[in-house]
């Protein structure tokens, strides 16, 4: 046999299966609607295989034979316990065909499903249960039967035992009887709680640069205490939030130790320790802005973070109007408690704002603590020195500060919330040194969201901000502690920091009190497209506690949102709603995430 002829036969043997793809697939369901048909198609490997290019007859036959059990399993899930399934390949029942004798070509696969009647639970029993365990209402006598409610009941029962320390609780036995004439399913599930266990050794693997002792400290699993699955979930969260690890997984030992403890295996994968980045922005009002940062995630081998970042703004404007800043931040997780982080900051900054210019330096240290999933707090001490020039002349300020802040957040999505609320408040008492006056500064921010319509197609969003200063007079207050209104963070449509206090001398400065409200109606008009209408209003008063002379302004506009999956790209166009430019001047705002 010549080499050419052998090559020809080899090519034919390879091409033959490719020519054997099925031309048609029928799915007939008796007594089922579109929803059931869709569920069965999702379960069938034949449907998935036919979406691929040129499936072979062998793979089609194997998929057809596997789909008997897949279809039956899907029907059991929805309470159909008397189904009849037929899958014919070119007229022959697939179950009766040898998988080693697939035809050279398949023209048609015909699937006929009679799902049978729906069953309901006659008896639905599970026990023993831990005190306080709630079994889903879908598992009860008279409810629609199905394997999903049974699985959910088992999961709830086991979870109830695990939450009080019985880590190896399991399903010991199950009795499931289908009564076809009555169309009922009797179910009896018996759980085995097992012994109440305590946390044992924590075996750390996968680490290279981060010390094992620090990984255990950050995880914060209390060895020797009663087992609690929530502690494991919290430990994984704490380790992920350090930013040091690309993956974190904690698994339980198969068997407890003789002393009643359960060992844990904590496996991590570390990211590269160093990272840098940069950015650029352009504003018609403020010129260009360049920023860059350098980050080390594991400075001393204990997941300590060091971040150095700098920024230059006002590029393209007058050289004397340049803004710049340089900040260094050090953070250490799990200080004093697993949920307490220590931070140390230092920075220098030059600000050129509409009401003042300032050169300043600051240093601070503090602790941030996570009280729960929703509540976080921070306490810090610091010192700041500034040289300023404003309506009251050239001055120097020297302050010792204490900062206490709290945040309570129930939003369902930080970048694109549809429900929940957000509350934050920051109090800063400051002690003046040298000739600087002492006082107290308070700011707060409240936001609320309400979804309306199917799948929250419409969202009402509202925001209220307030701030005030007690202690020093207006002329003796640090200029960047004063309040202004106008711009993207307060009142859109009004120029940036355009509202403050007009002094008798004709000069312009900030006020000692501030309030702003914003309202938005957000509507989703496509899969990724949204429209927004909004109205903002703000006021600034000359003195503390909203006393003294005051003024207010407002803005309104519309916006476009494009959902990127991680947050919407935001484009807002706004115009003043008060003043001489009402309805005439236009401001444009672009960003990522909702405005608030």
Q: Is position 217 within any domain?
A: yes
Based on the fold, state whether residues 37 and 100 are members of the same structural domain: yes
> Which pLDDT score, from 0 to 100, does residue 186 have?
96
Model confidence at 1, pLDDT cuts 50, 70, 90, reads very low
Average pLDDT over residues 39-44: 89
CA angle 60, 66, 71 (to 5 degrees): 115
Contacts 24+ apart (CB under 8 A), 283-286: 284/588, 285/495, 285/496, 286/313, 286/314, 286/317, 286/496
Q: Is position 4 within any domain?
A: no
Q: Is position 339 within any domain?
A: yes
Residue 130 sits in a domain whose CATH number is 3.10.20.310
Based on the fold, state whether residues 42 and 100 are members of the same structural domain: yes
Q: Which residue has the higher pLDDT, 424 or 35?
A: 424
Q: Token digits for 509?
A: 């400065």
Check pLDDT > 80 for residue 7. Answer: no
Contacts of 202 (CB under 8 A, 6+ apart): 216, 219, 221, 223, 263, 264, 266
Average pLDDT over residues 430-448: 95
Check pLDDT > 60 for residue 50. Answer: yes
Check pLDDT > 90 for residue 9. Answer: no
Based on the fold, state whether residues 169 and 202 are members of the same structural domain: no
Q: Which residue has the higher pLDDT, 300 or 549?
A: 300
Question: Could you report the per-residue pLDDT of 137-194, keeping only the tens digit for each?
Answer: 999 999 999 999 999 999 999 999 999 999 999 999 999 999 999 999 999 999 999 9
Q: Compute the Cα dihedral for 51, 53, 54, 59 and give only its sign.
A: negative
Residue 63 sits in a domain whose CATH number is 3.10.20
CA–CA distance, 59 with 53 (Å, rounded to integer): 12
Based on the fold, state whether residues 255 and 376 are members of the same structural domain: no
Average pLDDT over residues 531-536: 97
Q: Is position 5 within any domain?
A: no
Q: What is the pTM of this model?
A: 0.80
Q: Name the domain boundary from 114, 145, 168.
A: 114
What is the percentage of the chain residues whose pLDDT exceeds 70? 94
Q: Is position 6 within any domain?
A: no
Instruction: Please state the domain count of the chain.
Output: 5
Q: Is position 7 within any domain?
A: no
Asked if residues 592 and 571 have their Cβ atoms less than 8 Å apart, the reply is no
Average pLDDT over residues 7-26: 45
Based on the fold, state whether residues 404 and 537 are members of the same structural domain: yes
- Bridge partners (DSSP) of residue 368 are 341, 378
Average pLDDT over residues 102-112: 88
> Which pLDDT score, from 0 to 100, does residue 284 have?
61
Residue 544 sits in a domain whose CATH number is 2.40.160.50
Based on the fold, state whether residues 512 and 530 are members of the same structural domain: yes
Question: Could you report the per-residue pLDDT of 192-242, keeping only the tens digit for each?
Answer: 999 999 999 999 999 999 999 999 999 999 999 999 999 999 999 999 999
Model confidence at 8, pLDDT cuts 50, 70, 90, reads very low
275 sits in which H/E element: strand 274-283
CA distances from 300 to 123, 176, 550 (A): 61, 58, 52
Strand residues in 90-239 grouped as ranges (E) = 92-93, 108-114, 120-127, 170-179, 184-192, 198-205
> Which pLDDT score, from 0 to 100, does residue 274 have?
94
Based on the fold, state whether residues 292 and 188 are members of the same structural domain: no
CA–CA distance, 100 with 545 (Å, rounded to integer): 87
Based on the fold, state whether residues 262 and 290 are members of the same structural domain: no
Give the chain's mean pLDDT. 90
CA–CA distance, 167 with 187 (Å, rounded to integer): 25
Give me the domain span that covers residue 287: 273-315
Q: Name the domain boundary from 171, 192, 213.
A: 192
Model confidence at 590, pLDDT cuts 50, 70, 90, reads confident
Max CA separation in the chain (angstroms):
109
> Which pLDDT score, from 0 to 100, does residue 316 have?
74
Q: Name the domain boundary from 63, 97, 114.
A: 114
Q: Is position 51 within any domain?
A: yes
Based on the fold, state whether residues 457 and 344 are members of the same structural domain: yes
Q: Which residue has the higher pLDDT, 105 or 122?
A: 122
Strand residues in 297-432 grouped as ranges (E) = 305-315, 323-332, 340-353, 356-370, 375-390, 393-409, 420-432
Q: Which residue has the higher pLDDT, 360 or 288?
A: 360
Based on the fold, state whether residues 129 and 62 are members of the same structural domain: no
Contacts of 536 (CB under 8 A, 6+ apart): 490, 491, 492, 493, 516, 517, 518, 519, 554, 555, 556, 574
Based on the fold, state whether residues 487 and 381 are members of the same structural domain: yes
What is the separation of C-alpha 67 from the centre of its chain, rounded to a whole number of angstroms?
A: 37
Average pLDDT over residues 468-494: 93
Check pLDDT > 70 for residue 75. Answer: yes
27 sits in which H/E element: strand 24-29
Question: Could you report the per-residue pLDDT of 281-326, keeping only the tens digit for each?
Answer: 776 666 678 999 999 999 999 999 999 999 998 887 766 678 899 9
Based on the fold, state whether residues 171 and 233 are members of the same structural domain: no
Asked if residues 238 and 218 have their Cβ atoms less than 8 Å apart, the reply is yes
Highest mean pLDDT among 18-22, 46-50, 64-68: 64-68
Helix (H, G, I), strand (E, B) or coil at 157: helix
Model confidence at 18, pLDDT cuts 50, 70, 90, reads very low
Helix (H, G, I), strand (E, B) or coil at 148: helix
CA–CA distance, 405 with 425 (Å, rounded to integer): 6
Model confidence at 334, pLDDT cuts 50, 70, 90, reads very high
Average pLDDT over residues 61-76: 92
Q: Is position 324 within any domain?
A: no
């Amino acid at each position: 046999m010549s080499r050419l002829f052998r090559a020809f036969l080899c090519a034919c043997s390879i091409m033959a299966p490719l020519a054997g793809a099925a031309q048609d697939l029928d799915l007939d369901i008796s007594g089922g609607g579109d929803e059931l048909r869709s569920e069965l198609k999702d379960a069938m490997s034949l449907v998935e295989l036919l979406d691929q290019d040129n499936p072979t007859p062998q793979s089609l036959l194997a998929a057809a034979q596997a789909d008997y059990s897949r279809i039956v399993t899907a029907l059991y899930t929805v309470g159909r316990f008397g189904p009849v399934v037929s899958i014919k390949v070119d007229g022959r029942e697939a179950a009766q065909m040898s998988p080693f004798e697939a035809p050279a070509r398949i023209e048609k696969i015909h699937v006929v499903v009679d799902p049978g009647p729906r069953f309901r639970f006659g008896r639905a029993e599970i026990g023993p249960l831990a005190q306080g365990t709630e079994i889903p209402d879908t598992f009860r006598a008279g409810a629609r039967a199905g394997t999903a409610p049974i699985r959910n009941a088992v999961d709830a029962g086991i979870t109830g035992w695990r939450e009080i320390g019985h880590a190896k609780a399991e399903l010991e036995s199950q009795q499931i009887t289908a009564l076809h004439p009555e169309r009922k399913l009797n179910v009896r599930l018996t759980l085995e709680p097992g012994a109440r266990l305590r946390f044992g050794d924590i075996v750390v693997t996968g680490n290279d640069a981060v010390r094992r002792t620090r990984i255990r400290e950050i995880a914060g699993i209390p060895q020797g205490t009663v087992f609690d699955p929530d502690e494991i979930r919290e430990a994984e969260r704490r380790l992920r939030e350090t930013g040091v690890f690309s993956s974190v997984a904690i698994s339980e030992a198969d068997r407890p130790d003789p002393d009643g403890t359960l060992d844990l295996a904590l496996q991590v994968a570390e990211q590269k320790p160093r990272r840098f980045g940069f950015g650029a922005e352009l504003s018609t009002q403020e010129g260009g802005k360049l920023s860059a940062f350098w980050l080390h995630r594991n400075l001393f081998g204990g997941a300590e973070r060091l971040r150095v970042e700098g920024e230059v703004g006002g590029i393209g404007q007058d050289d004397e109007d340049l803004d710049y800043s340089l900040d260094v931040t050090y953070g250490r997780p799990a200080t004093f408690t697993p949920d307490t982080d220590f931070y140390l900051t230092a920075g220098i900054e030059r600000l050129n704002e509409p009401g003042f210019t300032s050169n300043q330096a600051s240093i601070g240290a503090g602790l941030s603590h996570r009280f729960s999933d929703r509540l976080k707090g921070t306490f810090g001490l610091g010192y700041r020195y500034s040289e300023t020039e404003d309506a009251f002349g050239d001055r120097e300020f020297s302050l010792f500060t204490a900062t206490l802040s709290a945040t309570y957040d129930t939003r369902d999505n930080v970048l694109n919330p549809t429900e929940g609320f957000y509350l934050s408040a920051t109090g800063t008492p400051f002690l003046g040194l040298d000739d600087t006056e002492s006082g107290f500064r308070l700011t707060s921010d409240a936001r609320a969201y309400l979804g309306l319509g199917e799948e929250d197609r419409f969202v009402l969003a509202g925001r209220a901000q307030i701030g005030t200063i007690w202690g020093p007079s207006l002329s003796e207050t640090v200029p960047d502690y004063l309040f202004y209104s106008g711009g993207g963070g307060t009142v859109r449509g009004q120029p940036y920091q355009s509202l403050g206090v007009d002094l008798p001398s004709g000069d312009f400065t900030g006020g000692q009190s501030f309030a702003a409200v914003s309202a938005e109606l957000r509507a989703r008009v496509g899969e990724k497209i949204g429209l927004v209408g909004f109205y903002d209003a703000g006021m600034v008063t000359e003195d503390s506690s909203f006393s003294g002379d005051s003024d207010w302004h407002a803005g309104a506009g519309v916006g476009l949102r494009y959902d990127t999956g991680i947050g919407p790209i935001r484009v807002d166009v706004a115009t003043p709603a008060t003043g001489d430019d009402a309805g005439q001047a236009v401001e444009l705002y672009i960003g990522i995430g909702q405005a608030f």
